[in-house]
Chains A and B, each alone.
Chain A
Amino acid sequence: MATTTTTLARRPALRERSRQAAESLRRAPLIPMVIIFIVVFTAVFAPLLTPHSTTQPSLADRLTPPVWQEGGTWEHPLGTDALGRDLATRLMYGGRVSMMVAIFTLAIGGGIGTAIGLVSGYFGGRIDAVFMRSADSTLAFPIILFAILLVVAVGPNITNVVIAIALVLWARYARVIRGEVLALRERDFIARARVSGCSHMRIVLFHLFPNTVNTLLVLLTLQVGWVIIVEASLSFLGAGIPPPTPAWGSMVSNGREYVDTAWWVSAIPGIAIMLTVVAFNLFGDWLRDTLDPKLRQV
């Protein structure tokens, strides 16, 4: 009898939950998800998808327009740049660079920031004050300048770009995660964990951290776009990924000289940046509404 009541009582709750899940799935941003899929897919499988080289110049084909314009060919669907390199190919490999920079900076910066946020929020006091003042100073500083300084001092390469962006990225994670921990710290389950003799380490890692994962996921997604823009800006200024490696920012920069004769050379990589960033931002917004509606990002 008791079992029947529980199953009966549970059934609507379960149905309600699956209805909610279906509802939020229905509102999932389809177009952004497709764009993200395309970018990731072409980045991963770039070598299989294109017969062209990213760096080998082919001067006979220089400044070929995209296929829909007069003079364009299916050989180079998005046209070629001033050295005759296939734009579609460079776009795919450029996406690879952007995704790699995003993954590594978010892993390093997000990891450090989360750790600092957890420690800062849990222990409070002087540690908290020092970390949070540093985070605020980092957030108020025009980070691109710092990245430029680092890259000019030690030379541009993908590792330095990742380090430079990660050094700035941690601050936002530290701030947001700390805020979460401040609220969680006062909850009963933390007090109970303490009473049952858990070490600080155990409380932070197994009781606090799992409860911040939703926020973390949302923040990570929302920041992919930001990282892509910063990396592109650095590459555009010549302080990012060094040529001839294709990066979206330096591709836009390459096209600047030909803006009057060959619009596509800088327009197309810019459109790629825009679509990718919009897609990640919209996807992140949806994820936030689904997982963590309280989180407000400024």
Chain B
Amino acid sequence: MQRYIVMRVGQSIIALLILSMIIFALGRFSGDPIILLLPQEATIETELALRAHYGLDQPWPIQYWKFVTNAVQFDFGDSIKSKRPVMDLIGPKVMNSLRLGLAGMVITLIIGIPLGVLAAVKRDTFFDGGAKLIAILGQSLPQFWVGIMLIQLFTIQLDLLPAAGTGGISHYAMPAFTLGWWVAAAVMRLLRSSMLDALDGEYIKMARIKGLPEYKIVWKHTFKNALIPVLTFAGTYLATFITGAILVETVFAWPGLGRLVYDSIIWRDFPVLQTLVLMIAVVVITVNLAVDIAYAYIDPRIRYD
């Protein structure tokens, strides 16, 4: 067990190191920052002095080391567009994104779990067909387009919901739905098939023979076991959520990190973007690590040989 955790933590650190190297290398490709900083009439001496000031005259490994040590201290340099430290831009938006993400997850659970269970229990009925349709659409509709069509319907035609920004609960309705539906489709499909597998189990037959009520068989005996394969994909769902958040926040002008990703694409603001990618990577890698370790506790068969 301990050996497994140590190995897994080691792998996560290696993954993060490789990623930071890729980001650093891409940063060098993205253009020479000195050119952006220098005034037009600058002499070669000022350029060299500025280069020395930012440490850009040093060899790459030393520059990379500086990049890493600064990053550990939350110093990611200044934004190209606003000339302010990157962390000042990111800080206030974290909570907005977390709130939207949480609302999206609630929607995912509300749609995904009951429909997944229903589709399995009422297999090959109208419910199963409906759930399948929702899943197919969820995987085929481009999220950003769904957002725009919802605005068209609920803001422009019906004038019920606000199209952009944050505020009361009505502001959450469309973005959270758009965000949550995609993952709900995936959760539902997986839950349906793992419920069907679990319903075939011998212990379910036993429970039926014992005369347990159907709701107990479904929720207590089947659902609990069927949930395990779904939880395995928690890391993948998180990745889908983050991708979705970028698109959804862009469509609904939500002042969060996803919108900041979009702004930094438009302004080619590499320092902001690299910081966001690095932060998200840390979150993703940590969550995956936590899921794997929790899993190893639940299932003692998972070990490194």
| B148:A237 contact, CB within 8 angstroms | no
Partner of B273, one of A149, A154, A263, A296: A149
As a 0/1 sequence over residues 187 to 214 of chain A, the CB contacts with chain B under 8 angstroms (1 = contact) are 0000000000000000000000000000
Question: What's the nearest-Cβ distance from chain A to residue B252, in Å?
Answer: 11
A22 at the interface (CB under 8 A from B): no
**Residue in chain A with minimal CB distance to B12:** A137
> Which residues of chain B (220-238) have a CB below 8 Å from chain A?
233, 235-236, 238
> Which chain A residues lie closer than 8 Å to B235 at the CB level?
140
B29 at the interface (CB under 8 A from A): yes
> Which chain B residues lie closer than 8 Å to A28 at the CB level?
none
| A143:B243 contact, CB within 8 angstroms | yes
A145-B142 contact in complex given A259-B151, A278-B136, C-beta closer than 8 Å: no
Secondary structure at chain B's binding surface: helix, strand, loop or mixed? helix
Question: What's the nearest-Cβ distance from chain B to residue A157, in Å?
Answer: 14
Secondary structure at chain A's binding surface: helix, strand, loop or mixed? helix
A101 at the interface (CB under 8 A from B): no
| A152:B268 contact, CB within 8 angstroms | yes
> Which chain B residues lie closer than 8 Å to A274 at the CB level?
137, 140-142, 145
| B145:A152 contact, CB within 8 angstroms | no
A2 at the interface (CB under 8 A from B): no
B49 at the interface (CB under 8 A from A): no
CA distance A237 to B245 in the complex (A): 12
Question: What's the nearest-Cβ distance from chain A to residue B17, in Å?
Answer: 12
> Which chain B residues lie closer than 8 Å to A137 at the CB level?
15, 285
Q: How large is the interface on A (under 10, 10 to 19, 20 to 34, 35 or more residues)?
A: 35 or more
A79 at the interface (CB under 8 A from B): no
Partner of A249, one of B142, B262, B264: B142
| A255:B148 contact, CB within 8 angstroms | yes
> Of B11, B15, B270, B288, which is in contact with the most chain A CB atoms at under 10 Å from its CB?
B15
Partner of A142, one of B26, B189, B284: B284
| B242:A237 contact, CB within 8 angstroms | no
Question: What's the nearest-Cβ distance from chain B to residue A32, in Å?
Answer: 11
B58 at the interface (CB under 8 A from A): no
A267 at the interface (CB under 8 A from B): yes
**Residue in chain A with minimal CB distance to B274:** A149
| A270:B142 contact, CB within 8 angstroms | yes
As a 0/1 sequence over residues 266 to 288 of chain B, the CB contacts with chain A under 8 angstroms (1 = contact) are 10101001101100110011001
CA distance A263 to B152 in the complex (A): 8
As a 0/1 sequence over residues 237 to 256 of chain A, the CB contacts with chain B under 8 angstroms (1 = contact) are 11100000000010011011
A139-B270 contact in complex given A152-B264, A153-B27, C-beta closer than 8 Å: no
Interface locus among A57-65, A82-90, A109-117, A225-233: A225-233
| B29:A153 contact, CB within 8 angstroms | yes
As a 0/1 sequence over residues 143 to 155 of chain B, the CB contacts with chain A under 8 angstroms (1 = contact) are 1110011011000
| A149:B243 contact, CB within 8 angstroms | no
B23 at the interface (CB under 8 A from A): yes
> Which chain A residues lie closer than 8 Å to B273 at the CB level?
148-149, 152
| B144:A141 contact, CB within 8 angstroms | no
CA distance A269 to B149 in the complex (A): 12
Question: What's the nearest-Cβ distance from chain A to residue B81, in Å?
Answer: 12
As a 0/1 sequence over residues 1 to 40 of chain B, the CB contacts with chain A under 8 angstroms (1 = contact) are 0000000000100010000000100110110000000000
> Which chain A residues lie closer than 8 Å to B149 at the CB level?
267, 270
> Which chain B residues lie closer than 8 Å to A11 at the CB level?
none
Question: What's the nearest-Cβ distance from chain B to residue A171, in Å?
Answer: 11
CA distance A238 to B250 in the complex (A): 11
| B148:A281 contact, CB within 8 angstroms | no
| B284:A140 contact, CB within 8 angstroms | yes
> Which chain A residues lie closer than 8 Å to B284 at the CB level?
140-142
| B26:A149 contact, CB within 8 angstroms | yes
| B236:A270 contact, CB within 8 angstroms | no
A33 at the interface (CB under 8 A from B): no
A162 at the interface (CB under 8 A from B): no
| B246:A144 contact, CB within 8 angstroms | yes
Question: What's the nearest-Cβ distance from chain A to residue B101, in Å?
Answer: 12
CA distance A277 to B142 in the complex (A): 9
A68 at the interface (CB under 8 A from B): no
> Which chain A residues lie closer than 8 Å to B11 at the CB level?
133
| A232:B27 contact, CB within 8 angstroms | no
**Residue in chain B with minimal CB distance to A256:** B148
A260 at the interface (CB under 8 A from B): yes
| A239:B239 contact, CB within 8 angstroms | no
**Residue in chain B with minimal CB distance to A259:** B152
> Which chain B residues lie closer than 8 Å to A225 at the CB level?
139-140
Question: What's the nearest-Cβ distance from chain A to residue B88, in Å?
Answer: 20
Excluding A148-B273, A154-B26, 19 further A-B contacts by CB distance (< 8 Å) are A139-B236, A140-B288, A146-B277, A148-B261, A152-B265, A152-B268, A153-B270, A233-B243, A237-B246, A239-B265, A249-B142, A252-B148, A259-B152, A260-B156, A267-B149, A269-B145, A274-B137, A277-B140, A298-B189
30 cross-chain CB contacts under 8 A: A139-B239, A140-B239, A141-B239, A141-B281, A145-B242, A145-B261, A145-B280, A148-B261, A148-B273, A149-B274, A152-B264, A152-B265, A152-B270, A154-B29, A154-B30, A225-B140, A232-B142, A233-B243, A237-B247, A237-B250, A237-B262, A252-B142, A252-B148, A259-B151, A260-B152, A263-B152, A266-B148, A274-B142, A296-B193, A298-B186
